[in-house]
Structure 1
Amino acid sequence: MARSYSARAKKMKGGIDIEGAEEIMDLLQDMGDAAVNVLDQAARKGAEIVLAAAKRKAPVDTGELRNSLILKSGIKKQGGDIENINRKIKGAYYVTRESGKARHFAPVELGTKERPATPYLRPAVDENLKKISDTVTEEISKAVGKAR
């Protein structure tokens, strides 16, 4: 029976599932270090979907918030299905703002005592879970097909 691996953010209502993951992961493990690059590229493609959606959903007054949104990568320090599969995989992509720009980035998403939240990041993920999953799966499957 095929396993399904889920990538979950804190408090995420849904998950991103990769169907047929067991077979794909076996092939990726056989690829060794090349698998790190494959998974990194697939994760980036999925994150680019979130970035584009967040830019479309960000409220626009001056456009500063929307124009400041960028994609960054960081280090995954603990846990998670992917880390258990291959401990060499440490990259994580996320949407944030350019340093020094759009200081209202978080207050718009989360709200303040004076202003209600106007979420744009969380909906960018939630509304695109299937598209992200399909894109990640497709990128990995293409790479695994090349490795055979």
Structure 2
Amino acid sequence: MKGRVTLEGGAELNRKLKALDDKVSKKIVTKALRAGAKIILTAAKAAAPKQSGVLKKSLKVRAGKRKKGTVRFVVQTASGDFKGESYYAAFLEYGHKAGSRKLENRKDIPAKPYLGPAFDSKKEAAAKAIADSMRQGIKDAA
């Protein structure tokens, strides 16, 4: 599940970050992304299925990836999709087909997403937390 959040005043924040040292600006951005991601993480943990509790415990935040003018954060299971002890979490989020791959008529099992709705419900609050944290970090660095 991918979603986008656009910050109000993002151009101003970007200009102020570019005026700072690269190392300091990266630290500010990473800290701000974590602040926003933790809001979404809390909502995702509340929405995650609770049959055994493994999925809820395995949800983690990764922040700070940069790619051509964008930065991102990821809320996912500790091992990643379709990996580790909570591999079934991806089946819940994206859906799957039941039965052997050799069968022609496999039954589609629909998705029961928990990350997507958590993001949609909290993206404004996360954007506000990111912007506030960036402003505070820039203020502290100046």
- Report the TM-score range of the alignment, normalised by the length of the smaller protein: 0.7 to 0.9
Mapping 1:69-80, distance limit 5 Å? 69-73=59-63, 75-76=65-66, 78-79=67-68
Question: Is the aligned partner of 1:59 residue 2:49?
Answer: yes
Q: Which runs of 5+ in 2 are unaligned?
A: 99-108
- Provide Cα deviations, 1:2-50, integer angstroms capped at 9, x if missing partner: xxxxxxx74x3xx312222222222111112211110111111111112
SS at match of 2:61: strand
Q: Which residue of 1 aligns with 2:30?
A: 40
What is the one-letter code of the residue matched to 2:112?
T
Indicate the structure (1 or 2) with the bigger Cα radius of gyration: 2
Whole-angstrom distance in 2 between the partners of 1:125 and 1:132: 9
Q: Which residue of 1 aligns with 2:105?
A: none
1:82 deviates by 2.9
1:96 deviates by 1.9
Whole-angstrom distance in 2 between the partners of 1:110 and 1:56: 18
1:73 deviates by 4.5
Q: Which runs of 5+ in 1 are unaligned?
A: 1-8, 84-91
What is the one-letter code of the residue matched to 2:70?
I
With structure 2 as the length reference, what TM-score do the two structures score? Answer: 0.78
